[in-house]
Structure 1
């Protein structure tokens, strides 16, 4: 008698890098995506007996990504993810759920028109789509967005014990590298319009909040995004505290009037949290 059973499982093709070039006369447009697919369903046989009759190969998944980019274009990461997820669930009876995760790599024009681009620094746009017969969930987001406030930040009044050495401060640099994801209430939205709006709300809240803690700033950022985008029901944020410590210049007979800082790489504080709209629908597998 077997002492084990098959638990939750999924498989797919990870990090397919697809670039779509669209030509508008002499002006070229680029969408540059890394796409990862994970599918699940009636997959017991392949694990237990090696029966591959229900397996849609990962190579086929990769080919589908390229074919759909050519056939349908790439309107946005969210729209492309929805297209793929619905296809995988709808085309194969053994597939019950599809998760499509996408990162977009942006490019800026070197000239106003033409075909020359430079890879844009800053954040990476992200999208995750879950789809099955019961529901569709779309989560937009960004990562690697580095921001810094050189004023209007304090940190004091915290618990102190025998191991506490951190001095309180009423004037500090507050810096972080934002990872944000926002869950849409429906699978029908203006993806291209809502992304810059969401990004703008996050930046406005970061810049406009007089911060007594990074936790307070996190909540302000999520609350501002929910207020500005009624179609979003939940925001999740991960904010590492990129510590900046004042440098002791006394050994060099110099004063440091909170002007010279050591930017520490690690270890760092890591602040995570969600801001949820009242009455938001159940997220289902959206965050898995």
Structure 2
């Protein structure tokens, strides 16, 4: 029986890094969670324990801190700097993936802050020749208090869900968009505009299903941002159930709800621009 080593990678997960830029006009915070994953000619460490080709995960962490001393800038640029450094300076490393979460802060005064809405994300994969850059947002919580229906679905012996012509539609958006031409991207503008179009499409769409809303959100982003090749969305359905107040001899004209925690429906999908260049590297 032949046995061999399959695909493998290693790295430093969730390095927390906070940089404070102390400008006279007011401080700025860059708050990051960085995960690195390296792959390449690493069979020796698995098969014989020879670590000569291994860049320690602690070194990967320290590199992120050292690079931040000169400033972070847009997280896509910072991830590209790290990924290229690992591949271009270590002979045994042939691919690097750097994933960054950025926790947003809004300044309230010269040096006081409150956490912002949503978590900005970026993932860069670099193989020594080409780079794939994927940006996004997590935990962007949105709600429509009306303008949503759900009916006409398939029913079987186990279906108990009643049809509705008016419901609350709420979700915590996780979205990723792939840049078709990373070398020419304006990361900050793309993030601000893509997030705006996601929210606008959610608000503007009269929804007959969360799937319909998902497609409308992805389509709106691609129609307004020509530099993006595709958008992937994961939308948990944050269910709100009307509370029965009849035991208390009260009516409930769509005003009092129970916000369910779990289980929840999870709707996921990709909206793709025809003719978009293939990324060449896995990106999701």
Length-normalised TM-score, structure 2: 0.97
Structure 1 residue matching 2:222: 3-state secondary structure: helix
Q: Which residue of 1 aligns with 2:181?
A: 186
Q: Which residue of 2 aligns with 1:29?
A: 28
1:105-144 alignment to 2 at 5 Å?
105-111=103-109, 114-120=110-116, 122-144=117-139
Q: Which residue of 1 aligns with 2:77?
A: 79
Distance 1:11 1:285 in 2: 18
1:256 corresponds to which of 252, 255, 263:
252
Q: Which residue of 1 aligns with 2:191?
A: 195
Report if the CA contact (8 A) 2:175-2:232 is conserved.
Answer: yes
Moved more, 197-206 or 276-285: 276-285
Could you tell me how far 1:24 is from its partner in structure 2? Answer: 2.0
CA RMSD in angstroms, aligned pairs only = 1.2
Structure 1 residue matching 2:182: 3-state secondary structure: coil
Could you tell me how far 1:286 is from its partner in structure 2? Answer: 3.6
Could you tell me how far 1:134 is from its partner in structure 2? Answer: 3.5
Q: Which residue of 1 aligns with 2:157?
A: 162
Q: Which residue of 2 aligns with 1:8?
A: 7
Q: Which residue of 2 aligns with 1:241?
A: 237
Q: Which residue of 2 aligns with 1:281?
A: 277
1:69 is aligned to 2:68: yes
- Runs of 4 or more, structure 1, over 4 Å off, are none
Aligned length: 283
Q: Which residue of 2 aligns with 1:212?
A: 208
In structure 1, stretches of 5+ residues that fail to align are none
Report if the CA contact (8 A) 2:125-2:283 is conserved.
Answer: no
2:140 corresponds to which of 126, 145, 161:
145
Moved more, 194-203 or 22-31: 22-31
Could you tell me how far 1:171 is from its partner in structure 2? Answer: 0.7
Could you tell me how far 1:26 is from its partner in structure 2? Answer: 4.5
Could you tell me how far 1:287 is from its partner in structure 2? Answer: 2.2
Length-normalised TM-score, structure 1: 0.95
Structure 1 residue matching 2:80: 3-state secondary structure: helix
Structure 2 residue matching 1:106: 3-state secondary structure: strand
